[in-house]
Structure 1
Amino acid sequence: MRSYGVVIPAFNASGTIAETLRSVAAQTVRPELVVIVDDGSSDDLAAAIGGTDLPLQLLRQANAGPGSATTRGIAALSTPLIATLDADDLWLPSKAETQLAHLERHPATSGVFCHLRNFRNDRPDAPEDAIVPGWSRTTMLIRREAAETVGPIVDPPGGRGEMIDWIARARETGLALDMVEEVLALRRIRPGSLSYGRDAARDRGYLEVARLAMLRRARNKAGAG
């Protein structure tokens, strides 16, 4: 089974990242390296990650957004496979093993995602929503060459939608992305997180993602004409 690394972008995540790292350490196939990119946090992230036995590398940058931080983390890894994870989410123990096996069985597949369920802050055993396909950073395991083909994860205005944009670009390049049926990840929902509720300022990112997708389709149609 091929080795993989993990990228975790983190912004003021000292209250949740230790639990997130414990879920990575509990994997039945552990990563070769976990790269945490501190995206201009004001809290003490270094102290929060000090209690793990995982191989860690902590990078710091001025605040630029989770996409920028993820892109920097990917560049810091040399493993052939890369998993990404938000700093307040959790993996179930067989997440990496299941996805690694899927990629071994399907060599033409560039990346694999999994189903997830939401939970309210410190209640991972109390599901709040239906199980959903997780087309997200927390569920992604991708081949290095595919990530390099798609290029940087671009942060739109408002800080939401960067993974929707990146996954759309991946599909537009012809990369095969699979979804396994198992629930292998948990997404934390808490006030203040980027995934919490509707917010007009933050939701501008989704509008920008849709606009860029339409522009790409128009360019591709013109080029094919």
Structure 2
Amino acid sequence: MPRVNIVIPAYNAEAFIADTLRSALNQSFPDLQLTVIDDGSKDATAANAALDDARVRVISQENRGMSRSRNRGMAEVDSEFVALLDADDLWHPEKLRLQLEALQSRPDHDFCYTGFQVWHGEPRPGFFDEPRSGRIDETLSGWIYPRLILDNHALPSSVLWRRSAWDSMGGFVTDNQQTDDWEYLVRASTQHRFVRLAEPFVLYRQHPVSLSRRIPATNTTELMRADLIRRFGLSSPAGHAIDLKALEGFQHRGWCNFADTHCAKGDLGLGLKTFAGLLARGPYRGRTLAKMGKSLVRRWIPKADSPR
């Protein structure tokens, strides 16, 4: 049985999956297995994932979505540690080794996550050659619920954790692919300590079809934040309280950005209605008005350098 099992959900990822798998297979820590869940792809994802390496296992299923695929992958593996890797992201070769060292040095911590870099697919050979020290960011380690509820610092592709923690918590909820991983990690942060490696170990790919680039019809992030606070409170575990002023700022920014996106390039009526709600409730009315004005300018006034 490998010490680490890496679960990789994949849907129509034929262009990226082989490079993603190679970045995991090239880890300096070799005692691992890759479990690819081909989630009903309509392209050559499964074929391109079938690399000539006994550590790669491909499981095909009907399309069920990211979170159900992650749960299926976890149900198929049995190892001391588990990790997630999205089908279009890449890892630094020292990632697993240094994460395992961090967890071994802190047996009362069950999750380890790392810094990451947003990436648009351009060649980055230097990223893989750069040395890493495994330096720990203490400000985002320990009981991180008060920080994670404000901003999801823990990219799923960066997280390694003990299988025992997965077994005790249960799997991902499967309500919304935009927020399911955040819900899982926030829920975990109320029960388990996290340790963060400060350096970037993941290239987080962004491209035109990335899930995170789509304009949502509902503000799933803020609705999930409100639900998490309802469930876990303003201090979890006891004594680790959320900064209420910071929370107010993040909530306002989240709703303002949602309204801005729709006013500028989405559903204008929804954007204006959201801005109106922010102005009625306050605070930050000046910021809200300024944001709304800029949104409408971006929608109605063409850029100076655009074709006429």
The alignment's TM-score, normalised by the length of structure 2, stands at: 0.63
For 2:50, the equivalent position in structure 1 comes to 50
Where 2:98 maps in the other structure, the secondary structure is helix
For 1:145, the equivalent position in structure 2 comes to 164
Are the aligned partners of 1:5 and 1:33 in contact in 2 as well (CA < 8 Å)? yes
**Between structures 1 and 2, the one with greater strand share:** 1
Are the aligned partners of 1:116 and 1:133 in contact in 2 as well (CA < 8 Å)? no
Write out aligned runs for 1:1-225 (5 A): 3-124=3-124, 134-157=153-176, 159-172=177-190, 174-196=191-213, 199-201=215-217, 204-217=219-232
Are the aligned partners of 2:46 and 2:60 in contact in 1 as well (CA < 8 Å)? no
Query: Once the two structures are aligned, what percentage of the paired residues are identical?
Result: 28
Deviation for aligned residue 1:86: 0.3
Partner Cα separation in structure 1 for residue 222 and residue 54 of structure 2 = 38
Structure number with larger C-alpha Rg = 2
Are the aligned partners of 2:152 and 2:182 in contact in 1 as well (CA < 8 Å)? no
Instruction: Report the AA paired with residue 24 of structure 1.
Output: A
Instruction: Report the AA paired with residue 97 of structure 1.
Output: R
Deviation for aligned residue 1:101: 0.7
Question: What are the ranges of 5 or more consecutive residues in structure 1 without an aligned counterpart?
Answer: none
CA 1:208–1:151 in 2, change beyond 3 Å: closer, same or farther?
farther
Partner Cα separation in structure 1 for residue 220 and residue 39 of structure 2 = 18
Partner Cα separation in structure 1 for residue 90 and residue 170 of structure 2 = 26
Deviation for aligned residue 1:214: 3.1
Q: Which has the higher contact order (CA 8 A, sep 6+)?
A: 1
Instruction: Report the AA paired with residue 191 of structure 1.
Output: P
**Between structures 1 and 2, the one with greater helix share:** 2
Deviation for aligned residue 1:143: 0.2
Deviation for aligned residue 1:199: 1.1
The alignment's TM-score, normalised by the length of structure 1, stands at: 0.85
Are the aligned partners of 1:115 and 1:133 in contact in 2 as well (CA < 8 Å)? no
Deviation for aligned residue 1:38: 1.3
Partner Cα separation in structure 2 for residue 200 and residue 83 of structure 1 = 28
More moved, 27-36 vs 80-89: 27-36
Partner Cα separation in structure 1 for residue 152 and residue 222 of structure 2 = 22
Q: Could you give the per-residue CA deviations for residues 13-48 of structure 1, whole angstroms, max 9, x where no partner exists?
A: 111010001101110012431111111211122211
Give the length in aligned residue pairs. Answer: 211
Structure 1 stretches of at least 4 aligned residues deviating more than 4 Å after TM superposition? none
Partner Cα separation in structure 2 for residue 126 and residue 100 of structure 1 = 24
Where 1:118 maps in the other structure, the secondary structure is strand
Deviation for aligned residue 1:79: 0.6
Are the aligned partners of 1:6 and 1:31 in contact in 2 as well (CA < 8 Å)? no
CA 1:50–1:57 in 2, change beyond 3 Å: closer, same or farther?
closer
Where 1:213 maps in the other structure, the secondary structure is helix
Instruction: Report the AA paired with residue 164 of structure 1.
Output: W
CA 1:156–1:31 in 2, change beyond 3 Å: closer, same or farther?
farther
Instruction: Report the AA paired with residue 50 of structure 1.
Output: A
Deviation for aligned residue 1:200: 2.1
Deviation for aligned residue 1:119: 1.0
